[in-house]
Chains A and B, each alone.
Chain A
Amino acid sequence: MPERSPEQRRSSFDEVAFGYSADEALAEANRCLQCPNPTCQQGCPVNIDIREFIGAIIEGDLTRGVSVLKERNALPAVCGRVCPQEEQCEASCVLAKKGEPVAIGRLERFLGDTDLACELDHRCVPEVAAPSGMRCAVVGSGPAGLACAGELAKLGHGVTIFESLHAPGGVLTYGIPEFRLPKAIVAAEIEMLSSVGVEIVTDTVVGQLTTVPELLGEEGFDAVFVGSGAGLPVFMGIPGENFNGVFSANEFLTRVNLMRAYEFPSKADTPVARGRKVAVIGGGNVAMDAARTALRLGAEEVFLVYRRTQDEMPARKEEVHHAKEEGVEFKMLCSPAEIVGRDGFVTGIVANRMELSEPDESGRRAPVCVLGADFSIECDTVIIAVGTRPNPLLKAAAPGIELSRRGYVLTDEEGATNLPGVFSGGDIVTGSATVILAMGAGKTSARAMDRWLRERATS
């Protein structure tokens, strides 16, 4: 897929990859063998009929292609951009064994974009069942909440999403940068949901302005889905973490994405620290996004500090590749022990050299500290991207909801919690996962909610 050159994109928040033209999409689709027993579909967490939608592209029937996709995935233009396809559908494509799998993700993006390019009333709108007269509340407008809301609306229920921030989308809006997922795409997908009757109420913190028992009580909702994500950033607990210039990836990315700090001060009022030498700690998608964002804000040097090797990095391969091309310097097998500073501002990191131990029973090689091998990295900004935890507001939002020891919501396979009529899914149940898994969980819950509602109505 054509993309902007690393030189071009290092200073721009424009999207990196251009996407297929119609001809390119057709050529790629034609590589698909249309297998009688398509293994690609099994690799997809929401079981999209991949062969079918690629078949539709081959026949030139893009409208059908879009509707096949949308049967399983309400946000194809988003997933086509951010799913780790190389580990999912594409890894399971028969052609993967022979070399190059079909570029399923790019074809998904192509169809998603084709749909979004149409006027709203020409876009593929899912069929909506007759109104059930019942109302559902959804807490959080991330992929889990959006998918759940869309499905509930299709099943005929009234749906209201409550979102604490001023803009919907969850991580899609505040976390994943514009150059990977343009906010206009997220907004257009969300607009689609509004067109099937989903109401989105922003600026509402559930647990403060209202609570789940109030939603089910005086506010008159019949069931609630909690998709509040796991947004509380984890720090490492090492000395120096509160020096000025040390940020959680969430703060850094929220300032840039949600608050558009890269347009400060001319078009946006929220500032962000523009470091010269930036160290990003972590090895996931979040770390990669923070590192690439720091480059775009004008950093001269950006280091990625990770305690294992590149092979163990959980980030998507494509993003690792892009980050390297753009000039992010990888410092592998290196674990921060202390952040040092002067006059309140960070000046560097002292780190331990690590090596990987022999694989344990699970085959995992743990990083172990090589004694006496400290070394330091000079920097003026440190961005910590080592994970997140559930927000403590959850307990106030849904008193009595059963949580795991680490604070995640406990549910059955279909998302039902211990509270009657309360369902949950996405990162708040699984811990940080992926967009498609959160969407899958939202949808599964919506079906279970629908069943619960209809059973209750008839009993």
Chain B
Amino acid sequence: MFRIVHKRQLSEAVFEMGVEAPKIAAKARAGQFLMVRTDENGERIPLTFSDWSAEQGWIRFIFMRVGKTTHALSHLEVGDMLADVVGPLGVPTHTEGAGRVAIVGGGVGVAVAYPVARAMCEAGGEVTVIVGARNSELLILEKELRALPLRELVICTDDGSAGRKGLVTAPLKELCSSGELDAAFAVGPAIMMKFAAATTREFDVPTTVSLNPIMVDGTGMCGACRVTVGGETKFGCVEGPDFDGHAVDFEELMSRQRIYSDIEREADAEYSRGCQCHL
């Protein structure tokens, strides 16, 4: 059992949660993830580390309420217990010799972009972070990002309620064409990563994406997380979640993410009917 020691609501549907887990905190690296199960009957869901403290023995993750499990998770409070937290999982993001990098985070993907940006800065990289959200309400971790020694923080919103109006690909393209970019890293909805990778491809800027295929065990045992990269089948949980964005088959990824959409929707609807929160 893992005790919840921190909870904060970042926007209407996005929450940050901290859990006491000293052993995991001692091993966590940027880009790695956890499998979390709320209770005995719960689903195992993957969530990325957004922060951790080896000294104080806690880890944090940020999640968006999308379906039943994240819904249930959002109802838990400090002092409650999670049945299972497994990690760190996946290969840490490669940060050495970072050079001049652009880190692109979309939506709740900013939760992953933040620790990656921090690690890249620590590794001596010259880091530009580009974050995108639908509107200013949905922007997360702005304060934390501002505290990093970034070269620049670019904020984009679809409606222009904060930062630039428009998509993250526009500033990314400008950076690429200025010729001042050695590499890019993108994390967020698959469609955003697809367009980010398409943007950098034109300029031959090597681009890493952090993929979010459906997972069951997260340890290389079930094959649910398979993605096609450069024509080969890879297991997202043990060989990823980071892959070469120019080689990923994003159409397949997006299609596979929808396998359970219909049945999940029913389950969440049923859950929400019985739930007292009226959200």
Contacts and interface: CB of A to CB of B under 8 A. Distances in A.
A418 to B, nearest CB: 23
A186 interface: no
A245 B83 CA distance: 30
A205 B86 contact: yes
A255 interface: yes
B44 A166 contact: yes
A264 interface: yes
Interface string B12-49: 00000000000110010000000001000111100000
B44 A259 contact: yes
Centre residue among A242, A244, A247, A392 by max chain B CB count within 10 A: A242
B220 A392 contact: yes
Interface string B252-263: 100110111001
A393 interface: yes
Interface string A341-362: 0001000000000000000000
B194 interface: no
Nearest to B2: A203
A208 B221 contact: no
Kindly name the residue among A164, A263, A273, A392 whose own CB sees the greatest number of chain B CB atoms within 10 A.
A164
A106 interface: no
Interface stretch (A59-67, A230-238, A289-297, A399-407): A230-238
B44 A232 contact: no
B220 A209 contact: no
B219 A393 contact: yes
Interface in A394-426: none
Interface in B220-276: 220-224, 226, 228, 233, 235, 238-239, 252, 255-256, 258-260, 263-264, 266-267, 270-271
A203 B224 CA distance: 19
A251 B222 contact: yes
Given A165-B219, A273-B259, A232 B42 contact: no
Contacts of A260: 41
B5 interface: no
Interface in A107-165: 164-165
A445 interface: no
A250 interface: yes
Among A166, A269, A393, residue most surrounded by chain B Cβ atoms (within 10 Å): A269
Interface in B56-82: 68-69
Contact of B221 (A244, A344, A391): A391
A255 B221 contact: no
A209 B27 contact: yes
A82 B235 CA distance: 30
B221 A232 contact: yes
Contacts of B68: 265, 269
Contacts, number: 116
Most chain B CB atoms below 10 A, which of A166, A204, A268: A166
Contacts of B217: 164-165, 254
B267 A271 contact: yes
B17 to A, nearest CB: 17
Contact of A233 (B43, B222, B238): B222
Contact of A209 (B83, B87, B224, B260): B87
Contacts of B37: 166
B219 A255 contact: no
Contacts of A98: none
A439 to B, nearest CB: 20
Interface in A350-387: none
Nearest to A253: B222
Indicate the size class of the contact surface on chain B.
35 or more
Nearest to B256: A244
Most buried by A among B221, B224, B271: B221
A185 to B, nearest CB: 19
B88 A208 contact: yes
B89 interface: yes
A267 interface: yes
A265 B222 contact: no
B221 A254 contact: yes
A248 B259 contact: no
Nearest to B269: A265
A202 interface: yes
Contacts of A8: none
B238 A392 contact: yes
A21 interface: no
B222 A269 contact: no
B85 interface: yes
A203 B84 contact: yes
B44 A270 contact: yes
B223 A235 contact: yes
A231 B233 contact: no
Given A244-B258, A267-B41, A392 B223 contact: no
A326 interface: no
Contacts of B85: 203
Contacts of B259: 244-245, 273
A178 interface: no
A318 to B, nearest CB: 26
Contacts of A268: 41
A174 to B, nearest CB: 8
Interface string A243-283: 01101101100110001100111011111010000000000
Nearest to A268: B41
B258 A164 contact: no
A166 B42 CA distance: 11
Contacts of B87: 205, 208-209
A255 B37 CA distance: 14
B255 A265 contact: no
A222 interface: no
B42 A269 contact: yes
Contacts of A210: 23, 27
Contact of B222 (A242, A254, A264): A254
Interface of A: 164-166, 174, 202-205, 208-210, 231-233, 235, 241-242, 244-245, 247-248, 250-251, 254-255, 259-260, 263-265, 267-271, 273, 344, 391-393
Among all A-B residue pairs, the 7 with the closest Cβ atoms: A344-B255, A251-B222, A265-B267, A248-B223, A231-B221, A269-B43, A166-B84
5 contacts: A231-B220, A242-B256, A245-B259, A254-B216, A273-B260
